[in-house]
Amino acid sequence: MAGLTLALANKAYSSWSLRGWLALKMTGAAFDEVVIPMRQADTRVQILKYSPSGLMPALIDGEVVVWESLAIIEYLAEKFPHAGLWPTDAAARAHARAAASEMHGGFLALRRAMPMNMRRAFPDARIDDDVGAEVNRIQAIWREARRRFAGASGEGPFLMGAFSAIDAMFAPVASRFTSYPVDLESQAQAYVDAVLAHPPMVQWRDAARAEPWMIAEYEDDGGA
Ligand SMILES: N[C@@H](CCC(=O)N[C@@H](CS)C(=O)NCC(=O)O)C(=O)O
């Protein structure tokens, strides 16, 4: 396989795929994209052609296969050092990486209760205390990043200023916060609005809305 290929699951539901894709879009590199819909008879066989874990996303760069969204971001940051995936300042970079890692490994209650769905909202969903605590922790991460490091990646409304890898990691959460009835402080709401207006995010959402596949469990309260 020549050039870069990103293998993804459904754009409507796959939050991890969105993270890898947003990071790849930041590089400006040309890439092929393969969307493998979940819950089809041959889904696992198809995914295993690209990803040894059986999970999407996976980035293929010639002989190199990178599965796991955060590893994809790191690979792209090394391959495209001028793309600004991480801030150049060491303290800002460490902060952004810690927040990205916390997103990657945490917020299980929120991920379970509020699956990403790019096509619809769940205004009657119940936000329990565990989820509420995670929503608050996310808002604190966002507040702290802006307070200390806004401008570290350039000018802009995102966590380090210009859109960067930390925003790719939190973008699916921003989408969830528009689908579920959470009360956000004004600064967090402004950040959510900025993420949703980010042109690649609009491009992804439009593609998600055009997808033909519906998965019942994700349309109720299951999640990817
Ligand atoms: N830790 C992985 C998580 C990947 C993951 O859970 N991917 C889901 C979609 S969001 C998947 O591929 N599911 C396959 C399936 O349900 O068949 C990452 O960060 O990339």
Q: Which atom of ligand 1 is nearest to the CA of 13?
A: 10
At residue 118 the predicted structure's pLDDT band, cuts being 50, 70 and 90, is very high
pTM of the model: 0.97
User: How much distance in Å is there from the Cα of 160 to the middle of ligand 1?
Assistant: 27
User: How much distance in Å is there from the Cα of 67 to the middle of ligand 1?
Assistant: 10
Which among 27, 22, 45, 122 is positioned nearest to 81, based on CA atoms? 27
Q: Which residues contact 5 (CB under 8 A, 6 or more apart)?
A: 31, 32, 33, 34, 50, 59, 60, 61
Ordered domains of the chain (ranges, CATH): 4-83 (3.40.30.10), 90-205 (1.20.1050)
Q: Is the dihedral angle over the CA atoms 204, 165, 218, 37 positive or is it negative?
A: positive
- pLDDT, one tens digit per residue, over 27-55 is 999 999 999 999 999 999 999 999 999 99
Residues 195/201, Cβ–Cβ less than 8 Å? yes
- pLDDT, one tens digit per residue, over 162-175 is 999 999 999 999 99
The DSSP code sequence of 172-216 is: HHHHHHHHS-----HHHHHHHHHHHHSHHHHHHHHHHHH-----H
